[in-house]
């Protein structure tokens, strides 16, 4: 008799996009491509759950940075991991939130002479990696995180942002 057990639900990472600053335009295809790339790259590491992404401006990110990190200045991307243990939880959970600041991201893309969508993809990956516990506080951690970022970007056909 054939096994009547339904197939296991596929592991996936779900995202919710909030566009608070209109200059971000149609950023959702970039977000979709990033999350598909993350799951294709390493589905075992990036467990089932949800991530909220806020595409806003420098003023809002500066407020978040000040209120949650004690740094009264805008930055390109902020990550806010949830308090839940993302690797040990059996069901879907909220993994965390990511906020990107338009003016800072736009200026950085111009300075680096890269497309804004490519820079945004890099920052989305950076934020996602922070949500999963990656960091760059010391040189060894930074090298591991940068390698993950460049591998993910390469999977999307985007050049290494750390290349000289």
Does the annotation flag 126 for ligand binding?
yes
Residue 49: name the closest of 97, 99, 98, 12 by CA.
12
Beta partners for 161?
A: none
Contacts of 52 (CB under 8 A, 6+ apart): 15, 16, 18, 94, 96, 97, 98
Residue 145: name the closest of 161, 158, 156, 157 by CA.
161
Does the annotation flag 21 for ligand binding?
no
Does the annotation flag 136 for ligand binding?
yes
Residue 65: name the closest of 115, 104, 24 by CA.
104
- The binding site for Zn(2+) comprises 126, 130, 136
- The binding site comprises 126, 130, 136
């Amino acid at each position: 008799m054939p096994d009547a057990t339904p197939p296991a639900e596929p592991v996936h990472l779900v995202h919710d996009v909030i566009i608070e600053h209109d200059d971000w335009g149609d950023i959702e295809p970039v977000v979709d491509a990033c999350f598909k790339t993350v799951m294709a790259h390493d589905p075992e590491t990036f467990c089932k759950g949800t991530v909220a992404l806020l595409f806003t401006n420098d003023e809002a990110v500066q407020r978040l940075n000040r209120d949650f990190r004690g740094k009264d200045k805008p930055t390109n991307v902020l990550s806010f991991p949830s308090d839940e243990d993302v690797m040990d939880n059996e069901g879907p959970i909220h993994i965390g939130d990511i906020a990107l600041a338009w003016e800072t991201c736009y200026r950085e893309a111009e300075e680096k002479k890269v497309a804004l969508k490519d820079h945004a993809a890099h920052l989305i990956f950076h934020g996602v990696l922070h949500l999963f516990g990656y960091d760059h506080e010391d040189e060894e951690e930074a090298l591991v995180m940068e390698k993950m970022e460049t591998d993910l970007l390469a999977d999307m056909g985007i050049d290494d942002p750390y290349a000289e």
